[in-house]
Amino acid sequence: MTLPIILLIAGICVIILEIFLPSGGILGVIAGISIISAIGLAFMEDPTSGVIFLALAMVLVPILVVIGFKVFPNTPIGRRVILAPAAETSKDRGAAGVNDDDYTRLIGKTGKTITPLRPSGIAEIDDERLSVISEGVMVDRGVDIIVISIQGNSIVVEQQA
């Protein structure tokens, strides 16, 4: 009767290892084989023992898996693997490249490209460096440009003739 007990304990330990050391399912398969073997050997010895082992496996495995997933995020590996929850307020999130500036004042203004526009890049307009987009064409660095439109939060420019 010791071999089924050892196999059941080993299977449960390997399930816990699978939770904390993801192996692509290899440890899970080994744990499953171990637990099924323990139940089979227990049934061979005595049907009552087999039922007890089956009941233990059916109760312990789900409980330990749930506990493992509750504990895992608090482990050093879990903190590296699992992403932190998203920030709830806009102040916590910070700027995500979207701002409330109204760039319509720039329409018709001229400037000079600081970086090549492929089609986006940096230009200086009214002594202010801004992220701009050309209309699908590449514009070299140091070229005069004019703001032709504002699309949402994007400043659309074209090369000045």
pLDDT by residue (tens digit) across 68-79? 788 888 888 777
| 56 plus 114 within the same structural domain | no
What span, in angstroms and rounded, lies between the C-alpha atoms of 138 and 112?
14
Per-residue model confidence (pLDDT) at position 97:
52
Q: Is residue 36 part of a domain?
A: yes
Which residue segment(s) compose the domain that 55 sits in? 2-81
Q: What is the mean pLDDT of the chain?
A: 85
- Asked if residue 145 has pLDDT above 90, the reply is yes
Q: Is residue 92 part of a domain?
A: no
What span, in angstroms and rounded, lies between the C-alpha atoms of 81 and 73?
8
Full-model pTM? 0.49
- pLDDT tens sequence across 28-55: 899 999 999 999 999 999 999 999 999 9
What span, in angstroms and rounded, lies between the C-alpha atoms of 150 and 101?
11
Q: Is residue 88 part of a domain?
A: no
Q: Total structural domains in the chain?
A: 2
Per-residue model confidence (pLDDT) at position 94:
47
Tokens of 52: 């007890």
Of 46-50, 87-91, 109-113, the least confident: 87-91
**CATH label of the domain that carries residue 121:** 2.40.50.140
Per-residue model confidence (pLDDT) at position 78:
78
Residues β-bridged to residue 149? 156
Last residue of a domain, one of 48, 81, 114: 81
